[in-house]
Chain A
Amino acid sequence: MSRQDVTTQTLTRNCNEALILAALAGGPRHGYQLVLDIEARSQGYFVFKHGTLYPILHKLEKDGLIKGVWSEEGPRGKRKSYVLTGKGRTVAAKQRDAWRAFITHFQAAIAAEES
């Protein structure tokens, strides 16, 4: 099973990763901006706690899908922002397709249950 496969066993992890990668496709973001961005894009449906965000971000960084960049932002001091890498862009695209397929099959399965 590769990272871009969506399975029920890894559903939450895959969902969180897909949301983060999709948010980063829009450009570099700080950790706190990512949380706000995902919340805004999903119209408040996906509410991330920062406490759960960092382990995922650091894992994605270690796997080379995103890159953390430190910058000095004047009086506010050091800030770390994240950008998608080439590998991350490819995985994000594959994950999008995998999620579409998952949702299609999931809806079909639910519909079959109802009928």
Chain B
Amino acid sequence: MSRFAAELRLTAQRLDLPQPARSRVLLELAADMDDLFRHLRAGGMDDLTAHRDVLQDFDLSDEAIAELTQVHRGPARRLLDRLPVRRLELWERTLLVVMVAAALHTGGWLTRTVEVFRVAGPYAWPMLLLGAGLLALVSRKTYQLFIKQDHAIRRLRTGLAPVLGLAVAAIFLGFVLPWLDVFVQIRAATAAALPPVAAVMQWIIGATALLQLGLGLGLLGAMAWFGLAQKALRIEQHETDVLLNLPHSESEDLTCN
């Protein structure tokens, strides 16, 4: 562990950079700080003075932090940085509402035109609502991790569990809704005096469609969750790298490169 680990952690809190850039900057700083410390010690300086001098020399001003941030941020993030925070939040929320509304509208159109949705009947709607929710959650997380590049550890996994939860719920509904449909179909068949075979056939068609929708939505949700969780994991690994790979500093080792 670097003898400057505590100070580097404070610097890390000020560096609002996406990973892996943040870890790389910190590792570079840690290595150079330790090397300068060794150099000063080799020149005859005592431990305490060398430590203090290195900290003074490596003190990153707000201006330097801002410049580093500017260099490492992607074009999308630089564009977002130009917007005032309040206006950005308003834009984010509006965009999310528009996306969900568009998803529901498209869903409505699908239920009228596409065979699998049409056959599923009114039971397709809970599935579509679930799909719109899933789309909203995945979009929000994708925006946070890839466009806004907000890689703060405490917010990293927020919203990931609900994605997986909705994916599982879609599969669950795909199995449960057909059984609800059995009851409805049998009552309808009894009222219309349909032959039992025709009622069963109708149920099988509807049940298959619902199962397809549930499994399809569940699979897409699970894939999205996996991709986002992998990204979060990589970011966490970079954070861990910084904590574990900070170079060792031994005041006794006065070798200078």
Chain A interface residues (CB < 8 Å from chain B)? 30-33, 35-36, 49-52, 54-55, 58-59, 62, 68, 75-80
- B64 in contact with A78 (CB, 8 Å): no
8 Å CB contact of A58 from B31, B68, B248: B68
> Counting CB contacts under 8 A, is B36 at the interface?
yes
The CA-CA distance from A49 to B61 in the complex, in Å, is 11
**Chain A residues within 8 Å of B257, by CB:** 30, 33
When C-beta atoms are compared, the residue in chain B nearest to A48 turns out to be B57
Chain B interface residues (CB < 8 Å from chain A)? 24-25, 27-29, 31-36, 39, 57-61, 64, 67-68, 71-72, 245-248, 257
16 contacts between A and B (CB under 8 A): A30-B35, A32-B36, A36-B39, A49-B58, A50-B29, A54-B60, A55-B67, A55-B71, A75-B248, A76-B247, A77-B31, A77-B245, A77-B247, A78-B31, A80-B27, A80-B28
Q: In the assembled complex, how far is the CB of residue B75 from the closest CB belonging to chain A, in whole angstroms? A: 12
Q: In the assembled complex, how far is the CB of residue A11 from the closest CB belonging to chain B, in whole angstroms? A: 17
**Chain A residues within 8 Å of B61, by CB:** 51-52
The CA-CA distance from A31 to B67 in the complex, in Å, is 17
Q: What DSSP secondary structure best describes chain A's contact surface?
A: helix
The CA-CA distance from A88 to B61 in the complex, in Å, is 27
Given contacts A36-B39, A54-B28, A77-B248, 11 further A-B contacts (CB under 8 A): A30-B257, A33-B35, A51-B59, A54-B25, A54-B60, A58-B72, A59-B67, A68-B28, A76-B34, A78-B245, A80-B24
Q: In the assembled complex, how far is the CB of residue A13 from the closest CB belonging to chain B, in whole angstroms? A: 10
8 Å CB contact of A32 from B27, B32, B247: B32
- B28 in contact with A31 (CB, 8 Å): yes
In the A-B complex, the 4 residue pairs with the smallest Cβ-Cβ separation, listed nearest first, are A77-B247, A55-B67, A32-B32, A31-B32
**Chain B residues within 8 Å of A59, by CB:** 67, 71
